[in-house]
Structure 1
Amino acid sequence: MDKGMFWAVLAALLVFSLIVATVGGVRDAIVGYVMQTSLQHAQRDMAAAAVRQRAEAARQRAQEAARQREALQARTLAPDQQCVSGTVVTVRSNDASQLIRGGAPVRCSGRLAEVPLR
């Protein structure tokens, strides 16, 4: 092999090595970009899921609070009712009568009956 051929082969190997190194660097850059983008999407998806989860929890708490208010309101004595000696009494004009449910007087304390009235 003569000197010219040697230098041509050496130059070709050098060019080939540079191309391989450049392609490898580009590949690494692309892989890095894809990984970074995937991570950003995953973080965004997780944040959105957390927001949805908090909103759902708040909605459930609001529903539970509404149910509790309704249950309390259903047990609250009406304006024409009083709690007398632990029993609900309905007072209309000059007439007073015990409130009976299931054959027994409805028990109460303060302005609340033990069972729902409505």
Structure 2
Amino acid sequence: MVDKIKIALALALLAAGIAGFYALSEQALVVRVLCVLGGFAAGVAIAWTSAPGARFVEFARESINEARKVVWPTRKETVQMTGMVFAFVVAIAIFLWLTDKSLEWVLYDLILGWK
């Protein structure tokens, strides 16, 4: 129950920051933006202390660690794969064009007799 209250309080602080943006319409834009950022920062700080927030932080850390383990392709591999994709797209485009023209010829010329 405590975690639900923390999340609700975090959302309320974010909403208060947004409401402050509109309530301070006579102030400079910098003050209004700082109000929103302050509400957001306070909401994140409170949400961080909840169990779902802690799980999210742990997930983010694990995601960063996994992204560091990724072996990215070399430039040569990237160029080769890009070339293969383009060649496949051209081949499929030609196949679809031939299919379309064949169906057009069969339907219009042979079946319907239109020219």
Same fold (TM over 0.5): no
Q: Which has the higher strand share?
A: 1
TM-score grouping bracket, smaller chain normalisation = 0.3 to 0.5
Higher RCO (Cα < 8 Å, 6 or more apart): 2
Q: Which has the higher helix share?
A: 2
Max Rg structure: 1
The normalised TM-score by structure 1 is 0.33
